[in-house]
Amino acid sequence: MKSVKIRTSMIIKLAYLYLVIPIVIFFCSWLKWYYAVIFSGAIIEALMLAFSTDSGAKEHLEIPLSALMLLVCVSFAWVYASGIGGFVWQRADWHARNATLHDLINNSWPIVFENGGGLSYYLCYWMVPAVFGKIFGWEVANIVLFFWSIIGIILILILLTDHFKDNDGKISFPQVAISTAFMVLWGGLNLIGQFIVFAKGHGSMSLGSIYGWSKYQYTPNNALLEWVFNQSIPAWIVGALFLNERKQKNPQNYGILIMLLIPFSPFAALGFIPLLFSDIFAYDRKKILSTQNVLATVSILPVFFAYYTCNTAISGESGMSRIGLFRLDHGSLLYGFLVLTVFLCLEVLIYALLIWKKKRNDRMFWTVVIWLLIIPLIRIGPSRDFIMRGSIIPLFMLMTYVCETLTDKKFRENKFLYPALILSLAIGFYSGAGDFVLTAINTADPQIENIADDVRSMNNKNLDWWNDYMNATSYIAPNAAEKFFYKKLAR
């Protein structure tokens, strides 16, 4: 069978560039020119230093050509089915996603609306499509967004494949197919939770409520791509790069990883912190305080801290405390504890218990599991966003551990644990598979509008439901000219 050799270092560099390019565009188009030069220069220098310390520069991935073609085809099909590009039915959150792209195309940068409100949202993922949209229009911007997302998914799948290669750099077609299936379909055992709620006389067994059975939510991978691709794709890339940096014992780049994630998903970056801390104490402090880590931190953190704190929900100006304990809206403390216990069993503990014998000596495994047990207790801002997005990388790591265990030859000889894990995965993968079916059904329904583009601008004041949503999320910073970011840093 014909195979293809891919330099691992080339994929690593492309993945880093995928994250850096939109950030540099943001710096150059939103900041005063001298800040743009300083911060862009710092992050580019950090990137060059990261490339120069690549200890796995000679490594390669030898992948069957058929498996590589599978990765590309799956990437294309997955992005197509997610709603990116507007080819199929889009979820409700797409009203905000499309509005963001409209604003980036139709307004000068930085965006300050006529009423004085400034856009304060994690919008870096749209930077590349928006540049094309400003020149060629909305349709071209959507096409670029579609292919930009495909490139991101291909990078993720190749990096994940590289993680599972053998010591000779080779990987078989079945192994590629398994890791790819995990990436697309991974999720908790939501079907059981959905049935429990239904059996109590609440909710339904419909495809539209599989992973929404509880106020607590660890979102399956397919749903993440459908709802928050702008956060999940960069977070998965960072997670996959983290696997590589750990393998190379290269903490010199840990600071770059988390800093590159902040512009795309601050919640995912916060959820990533405990995993980094789990590792850094095992290394020389000088490696952690590498030049590239310091440069990445001083170039990205001040800018995006100033930008995000324009958001009144984050700054505390909205009246709600910024950080607190996440609790259910109704029911007693005991009821909330029981719901949380069931949730954690279905999303984390069943998987963890089935594989713990293989991973019990892995410090990172225990960090991931314990952190996933804690995340649902934390509220940052007015809603549960941190639970859903702060868990992206920890869940990605848990997925990787489960996939590693499933493909282990000795584990497959266990006559209880192996079938139990297969059954658990079959139930867990139902979440992702069910979403594909729901997309197909709604796309084919002529009474359902496929494109969620009613809002057109994040500053739309003519839709009551949208105003209610924006009042809760506070993505428009009032009196932007008085905010530090817009007053001191922005053009």
Predicted confidence (pLDDT) at residue 55 exceeds the cutoff of 70: no
State the amino acid at position 477 in one-letter form: A
Q: What are phi and psi of 407, to 5 degrees?
A: -90, 5
Interval 217-257: pLDDT, tens: 999 999 999 999 999 999 999 999 999 999 988 899 999 99
State the amino acid at position 427 in one-letter form: I
Interval 115-136: pLDDT, tens: 999 999 999 999 999 999 999 9
Interval 331-362: pLDDT, tens: 778 888 999 999 999 999 999 999 999 999 99
Asked if residues 78 and 153 have their Cβ atoms less than 8 Å apart, the reply is yes
Gyration radius of the chain over CA positions: 22
Which of residues 158 and 476 earns the better pLDDT score? 158
Q: Is 4 exposed, middle or buried (0-12, 13-18, 19+ CB in 10 A)?
A: middle
Distance CA 296, CA 48 (A): 11
Least confident of 42-56, 188-202, 265-279: 42-56
pTM tops 0.85: yes
Sign of the dihedral through C-alpha 286, 289, 295, 298: negative
Distance CA 262, CA 305 (A): 9
- Where residue 76 falls among pLDDT bands split at 50, 70, 90? very high
Q: How many CB atoms lie within 10 A of CB 248?
A: 18
* Averaged pLDDT, 295-312: 93
Instruction: Report which of 18, 427, 379, 440 is spatially closest to residue 196, judged by C-alpha positions.
Output: 427
State the amino acid at position 186 in one-letter form: W
Distance CA 22, CA 128 (A): 6
Contacts of 100 (CB under 8 A, 6+ apart): 119, 121, 123, 126, 458
Q: Is 464 exposed, middle or buried (0-12, 13-18, 19+ CB in 10 A)?
A: exposed
* Averaged pLDDT, 143-160: 98
Q: Is 205 helix (H, G, I), strand (E, B) or coil?
A: coil
Q: Where are the alpha helices (H) located in 333-384, listed in sequence order?
A: 333-344, 350-359, 363-374
pLDDT value of residue 316: 55
Interval 395-410: pLDDT, tens: 999 999 999 999 999 9
